[in-house]
Structures are given as structure tokens and as C-alpha cells.
Amino acid sequence: MPRIVIRKYNTLYQHTPLIHFQGEQAGATLRASQVKPQLDRYLIAAGGGEKAIPEGWWAKPADQKSLNFRLKIVPGKATKLSGGAKLYSNYFGDERKVTFHPILQLNVDVPDPNLGVHIRSHLSEFFYQTNFGTRASKGFGSFSLGQEIKKNYVFKFAVADSGTGERNFQNLFRHIEFFHRSLRTGLNCFMDPEGLNVYPNPNPSKNYPSSNNQSLYMKPHIFSYAAQKDLVWEKKAVKEKTLSIWKNKQKPERPAQGHPWPAWFPENESAQQELTRATVRDVFGLSTDQSWMAYKFKVAKKPVANAEQNSSNQIERAPSPFTFVPVKLAQGFAVYVYARQPDEVYLNQRIEVVVEDKNRGNTAIGKLQVFPNFKMDDFLNEYLDPKEVAKAILTKDKNTEVQEQNEYLRDLLLEMYTQAKASLKLHNIQQA
């Protein structure tokens, strides 16, 4: 049978930089070998699973993982981005280059016309909800075929342009990081040496103080959702065993998202000890090595097998259940967010938590589950709400200029949440 080339779908648009291990080489870009396995899985699932795929569609009938088509990606003219990946706020790995080709050519060669129809029906949406390369879930490596996006994202928000080139991408990724911190890690500029003063300046004519003087503060939504389930997050478990400050109650003037502060200190101390500790933040992606820079130690996490697990189903890593997909518009970006329900096996996985301190030695915190009974739809329905942000965030500061910036950042986050809530489609959450 003659080979059919789907030429109608030959223009691929790149929306955000791709972190590339060979980024310093001319022509380095998205590789067909990166795309093909993910596209195979997507097409197989869209076709009803392996048993529903016609036998003639397989590249090798005995190995039902790869469909019989070929991809070729040809980059157009590159836009030079001089900074490496570390230029962007939500990349923390080793130094790598980024590549950006606004327009590329994508050829799909497929010998079976029915498979060609199947690919044509799903190719555009595959690219819209799939990023590539390192830090893909946080918006790097976003491509599309330029067609109208289908409505199967979970929520979205807009990010305005701020300059061009690297500066515009920096602004985009800082907005994504800002939003994601409100969900997973919280905001604490005073303790964060990187700070949030890198976010859009409310008044460029003013020279605001450094981040170490800022007081914007917010407990993450996962903290409060865990509190509803009588779970104590791992940060308190770590501090209980390693930091003397936790022998005393914390400052009462710092409330936590609708809960009287301190949220984890019932009047009855025995009741406090009965609350279950869990690595609740890991429901949004397992981080096996965390640096607590303010305390000069690291927290290591290692999944362990328990009596109900064996080596075949032990969890080694877990990606974020959120994927932020920025799409460049004529003005600014639309950030589409896809979400999935984490697997039950992972939610019940026990994680061995150890504090590694060069000066005081290691301290075993315990073997804590991730977050049993976490429900993504329940979480988003309640906490993807600007009212919850308004309750949680603190902006007051003795310095009026600092407070002005804090209030600007608060309003920025409130607007992102307002857009997210208005667009929320809980039925689009992918099930485990």
C-alpha cells in the first residue's frame, strides 16, 4: 500500500522554550523520538485501548506499544535566547540551554488510511495537552498545530505580555510558579531568598525593598485541605523532631486559611499527637530531595515497600498531576491547566522521611503515607476559589511600599483564581 503523508498537519508552532540537553547545538529542537512514544500512548487510549486497536495499525503486532507511522520534525528559523534554563524561576536543575523555534514542520507518514484518519482526529489535541522536555508540567516545551483548542482542559487563566523574548517568558513562568506555590508549597517571601520581588512590579518607577524584607505570606491550599481530613503535613513532622522552636506555640497573629492559628496545636496535647502525619505536598508530585535553605539542612524522601506491596508495584517517582500548557496569543498567553486524579496506590504509598544535617547528623522522621483519600475534584471544587485566597493570604507590613507590593501580588493571584474558577470543568479531570 502506498505511503500516505498527512501534509495538512505540517505546521507546528512553539509557544514556550524547550529545555534541551543539546541546546547549544545548531538546529537542536523537539525530536520525533520524544514525541512518538507519547503520541502512541495517547492514540491507543483514544482508540479504546490495546484490545480495540486494529491489528494492521501496529508497527509490530507482537509488540502492542508502537503504532505504524513515522514522524519527522524540521525546525524553522530559531529565535536566540541567550540565557539558559536557570534564567527561569521554576527550573532548579543543572545548567542546560533552551531552544525556541516559533515555526516548525511536522510530517506524519502512515501507510494505513484508517490509522491516518485516527491520527488526524487526535493530533491537534495531543499537542495542546502535552508539553515536552524537562519541567514539562510547569509549561516548558509547549507546542501546538494552531487549531482551536478543545474544551477538555480543567481550568485556565491568562498572563499578559511583559516585554519580548526572554523577559516575556520569565514573566510567564513566574506567574505559573506563583499560582502553583499557592497550591503546593505556600508563599513565604520573608524566608524565601529568591523572593517574589521578581514578579511584575506594580510601579516600575519605585525601587522596592529586597525580598528579604517582604511579608507576603500564605499557607498552601493543600495544607488546609489536609487539615479538613485531620492530616498534619510533613513540614510540621520535620520541625517537631528537629527544631526547638516547635516546642513552643507559634505566633498567634499568623492565621492559616480559615483555621485559628496555630492550626496544628489543639488545646489538648494528646489530641495533637493523634493527628496523622502525611507527606501531603507530595500528592502534587514527589520531591525526593528538598533543601531547607533557611535551616541549612536537607529533607530526603524515599518510597518504601510495606506489607501490602512488593517490588513490582513500589512507587519510585510521581510526576505532578497538573500540567500547565501556555499557548501564545496575539496578546499575552492563555495558560490551560490539565489535571488528573493521582493513583490510589501512590496516595497510600509510605515515604521514608529523613532530615540530613551535616552539623547535627541525620534524623529519622518516620514512614508517612502520601495522602490517603485525596480527591482532586473535591480539592479543586473547594479551593480553586478567590475567596479561599483572600482568607489565606497576609499582606500587612510596617513599610507602606512593601505592603503596596504585597497587595498588588495578592490582587494578581486573586485575578488568576477568578479566571480559573470561572473556567473550571471538573468532569475533565483525568481519572487514575
With CA atoms as reference, report the closest residue to 118 among 190, 187, 192, 44. Answer: 44
With CA atoms as reference, report the closest residue to 19 among 170, 177, 101, 140. Answer: 140
**Cβ partners under 8 Å of residue 71, min gap 6:** 32, 35, 36, 39, 106, 107, 108, 109
Which CATH fold would you assign to the domain 4-140? Alpha-Beta Plaits (3.30.70)
Angle (CA) 414-91-189 rounded to 5° is 45
Pairing of strands 103-110, 4-5: antiparallel
pLDDT, tens only, 288-308: 887 877 778 888 888 887 555
pLDDT at 67: 95
**Cβ partners under 8 Å of residue 51, min gap 6:** none
Whether the pLDDT of residue 199 is over 50: the answer is: no
pLDDT, tens only, 344-378: 989 999 999 998 888 888 888 889 999 999 999 99
- Higher-confidence residue of 181 and 402: namely 181
pLDDT, tens only, 104-145: 999 999 989 899 999 999 999 999 999 998 888 889 999 999
Q: Give per-residue burial for 50-64: e unless 16+ CB within 10 Å, then b.
A: eeebeeebbeeeeeb
Whether the pLDDT of residue 213 is over 50: the answer is: no
Mean pLDDT of the chain: 80
Which cell numbers hold the place of 169?
517568558
Highest mean pLDDT among 4-8, 21-25, 66-70: 66-70
Percent of the chain residues past pLDDT 90, beyond the cut: 39
The whole-angstrom separation of Cα 298 and Cα 242 is 12
Confidence of residue 196 (pLDDT cuts 50, 70, 90): very low
pLDDT at 263: 42
SS3 112: coil
Q: Domain segments of the chain: what residues? A: 4-140, 165-428
pLDDT, tens only, 333-345: 999 999 999 999 8
pLDDT at 182: 93
Longest dimension (CA), the chain: 77
pLDDT at 96: 67
β-bridge mates for residue 300, sequence order = 289, 354
Q: Are 325 and 308 spatial neighbours (Cβ–Cβ below 8 Å)?
A: no
- pTM for this structure? 0.83
Q: Are 322 and 137 spatial neighbours (Cβ–Cβ below 8 Å)?
A: yes
- Higher-confidence residue of 79 and 321: namely 321
pLDDT at 95: 58
Percent of the chain residues past pLDDT 70, beyond the cut: 76
With CA atoms as reference, report the closest residue to 212 among 289, 281, 293, 287. Answer: 293
Whether the pLDDT of residue 7 is over 60: the answer is: no
Kindly state the average pLDDT of the residues 39-56: 94
Whether the pLDDT of residue 275 is over 80: the answer is: no
β-bridge mates for residue 103, sequence order = 13
Q: Are 69 and 109 spatial neighbours (Cβ–Cβ below 8 Å)?
A: yes
Pairing of strands 276-278, 231-233: parallel
Whether the pLDDT of residue 250 is over 90: the answer is: no
Kindly state the average pLDDT of the residues 33-50: 95
pLDDT at 416: 96
Q: Catalogue the E-assigned strands of 244-311.
A: 276-278, 289-292, 297-304
- Higher-confidence residue of 155 and 212: namely 155
pLDDT at 366: 87
pLDDT at 5: 53
Q: What are phi and psi of 360, to 5 degrees?
A: -110, 0
Q: Are 406 and 415 spatial neighbours (Cβ–Cβ below 8 Å)?
A: no
Confidence of residue 394 (pLDDT cuts 50, 70, 90): confident
